[in-house]
Chain A
Amino acid sequence: MSARKAIFARLKRTLDEVHNPTVRISGADQRIREANANIIPARGQTEGPARAAMFVSEAEAADAEVMRLAALADVPRFVHDILIQAGASQIKAAPHPQLQDLDWTGVGIHYGRGENSDHIGLSVALAGVAETGTLVLASGPQSPTTLNFLPDVHVVVLEEENIAANYEAVWATLRAQKTEGPVMPRTVNWITGPSRTADIEQTLLLGAHGPRKLIILLIDGKNP
């Protein structure tokens, strides 16, 4: 008997004592179909400016740096300053139209996946999650995952209107976006602050294997 068959046979024997197979399958199907949220804590239910404020304070508490920009068009100027500060001459950016459409005159920018030689990487976040100051990045041709982990400094563009109050809202967005194929992109990264470890005598050190620094460029929401 194959391992699979044997495992399922044993499961069936035990589980049949509680529910019959039909009930099990319909119970599981129903839970998946409904995909109900569980308890969402109060801190995950912020609205308006309070939401962005919570995102910023939580991200900063997790050692991320947050810079607030008035418009997307300001991104090259901030990146220019970040490069100067880091003593770097170029940035590796995700081939994202929102970045490619900007005016990069005077800034050394290359597009592509992350390489070991990339000191600074630039990505666009799918969303932010206010309750914990978490960035959500979804892999795809416009967002290579390697950029999130290989560079020493990771710069991420996040638009304020893409800050969700909680994680569940981001799952809903992903489900709504998808018309065919798998709901989930190949990789979804929740990123909360820069890489760290406490494995040596419990001393907290930033920059274990991933970025030593996480800089979030938060683009202000459109004012009505």
Chain B
Amino acid sequence: MTHEPHCHDFQKGAADALNNDQLQELLNRTLKNGFQKKRLNGMARLPEYDQLRDQARDLKNHILDHLDAYLERFELEVQKAGGHMHWAEDGDQARAIIGDICKKVGAKTVTKGKSMIAEEIDLNDYLAEQGIEPIETDLGEYIIQLRNELPSHIIAPAFHLSKNQVAETFREHHQHLDADRSLEEPTTLLNEARKELRDRFLKADVGITGANFLVAETGTAMIVTNEGNGDLTQCLPPVHIALTSIDKVVPTLEDATLLLRLLARTATGQEQSVYNTFFTGPKREGDLDGPDEFHIVLLDNGRTELLGSEFRDILRCIRCGACINHCPVYGVTSGHAYGWVYPGPMGSVLTPFFVGIEEAHLLPSASTFCGRCQDVCPVRIPLPDLLRNWRNRAFAVGKPGGAQRLALKVWAMLAQRPGLYHVTARFKIWAMKSLAGKRGHFKWFIGAGGWTKARDLPAPQGGTFQSRYQKGER
């Protein structure tokens, strides 16, 4: 789908999310009872975790200071290994490069590994316009592609859907299958997707993946998956394109290893992701499989500007998703409210840069400045500071977004500390009033266990809120 940003609608998206019981339940399951616990368990098994984080931060800073040198070396090694390098200043150029490669081999279908860069540049839409069918192969991405939705999370793109919604989606799109088949069990859904996609893997003319890291030393690109989808995308079609960005380069295999010790553990609590696949150039002499052509499309899309800005630190990001998983605001609003490709704290830093602060001025305010994002970030990005920098810029263009900011702060604080409601009744009234907007009605308020949906109450006109609160509680 086209990713026209709608970040200015953050409040509405947040309100919709708060009124969606299913979403709240899935958020709770996925974040609090899922990723957050898993990360804690993963950390407990690696006493050196914090030392690795310091080293990873220093490594990334060193890379950013020497970025052109590492990129040149990477390019040289890719070419030595028989790969093709392409440089793209922006999405238009990257899309055109990929379109040309596909057209040259007469591609009809393209399988895709999960790539946030492809989302960033709206690649699927472009390919479809060129008459080339893009097929997402990561299960979550496949589901949201069928539903024409944006990912709601960078590493769990379809977590916001129930299995019933997935089943409905499959019924609608897999019409060649028996309409009466049972799709009750998650396993059945997975097997159906596996079968549908296996065929596509085998017939694809081009495979497009992202890259988690690029190794300058050897001209190697690598991807991390649990499903094996990116890996089939990489080894089956005759042409493989890795679409990636300039901030992904690391000096050596050892340096990639340092980051790989942190990535899975921080993201999902796994000791290691199931598949870490390192690829260097095309098929070699004597190889029985692998792509005949290998291309790297290296995208800037403003990152060289970020490098020279007060947002430079965000270029250390390894897209683990931890800041998203631990953000109290994301924890109630989910990803779609953020209105573009990257949600949560890292998204609130990146999105204004890509879509403009006028469009995205609410995002840096969608933060309680509780600091959890910074605490969990494996490369120690000072996310709250970067959000503050954006708020200053927003202020400079006359978009302070202050009321919402404070409102969100109260929301999240109350959600986390239910025991405080006597003390904070006044704040609650204020928060609800500012969120209720002109209509003077609100459809949600804070309950003892987090966000609780209530009936449509008129916004309090003053006085104590406690009695209304008790009446509204189920």
Residues of A within 8 A of B (CB): 2-4, 6-8, 10-15, 18-19, 21, 24-25, 27-29, 31-32, 35-39, 41-43, 58, 61-62, 95, 112-114, 116, 131-134, 139-141, 144-146, 148-150, 167-168, 171, 182-203, 205, 207-211
Contact = CB atoms under 8 A, between A and B. Distances in A.
B56 to A, nearest CB: 8
B88 interface: yes
Contacts of B305: 10
Contact of B286 (A6, A114, A140, A145): A140
Q: Which of A146, A184, A200 has the most CB atoms of chain B within a 10 A radius of its CB?
A: A200
A187 B55 contact: no
A75 to B, nearest CB: 21
B107 interface: no
A140 B284 contact: yes
Given A27-B66, A58-B271, A201-B29, A11 B304 contact: yes
Interface string B205-235: 0000000000011111000001111011011
Interface residues of B, number: 100
B228 A209 contact: yes
A132 B288 contact: no
A129 B106 CA distance: 42
Nearest to A30: B251
B290 interface: yes
B163 A200 contact: yes
B231 A199 contact: no
Given A10-B304, A19-B66, A168-B254, A191 B278 contact: no
Interface in B144-202: 156-159, 162-163, 166, 186-187, 189-190, 194, 197-198, 201-202
B274 A186 contact: no
B282 interface: yes
Interface in B110-152: 137-140, 143
B424 interface: no
A12 B68 contact: yes
B216 A28 contact: yes
Contacts of A18: 65
A31 B289 CA distance: 33
Contacts of B272: 62, 132, 134, 190, 192
Contacts of B434: none
Contact of B87 (A2, A25, A183, A194): A2
B69 interface: yes
Given A27-B69, A145-B235, A190 B275 contact: yes
14 contacts: A11-B67, A13-B308, A24-B68, A39-B55, A41-B46, A146-B288, A182-B81, A182-B281, A184-B219, A199-B140, A200-B190, A201-B29, A201-B163, A209-B229
A41 B274 contact: no
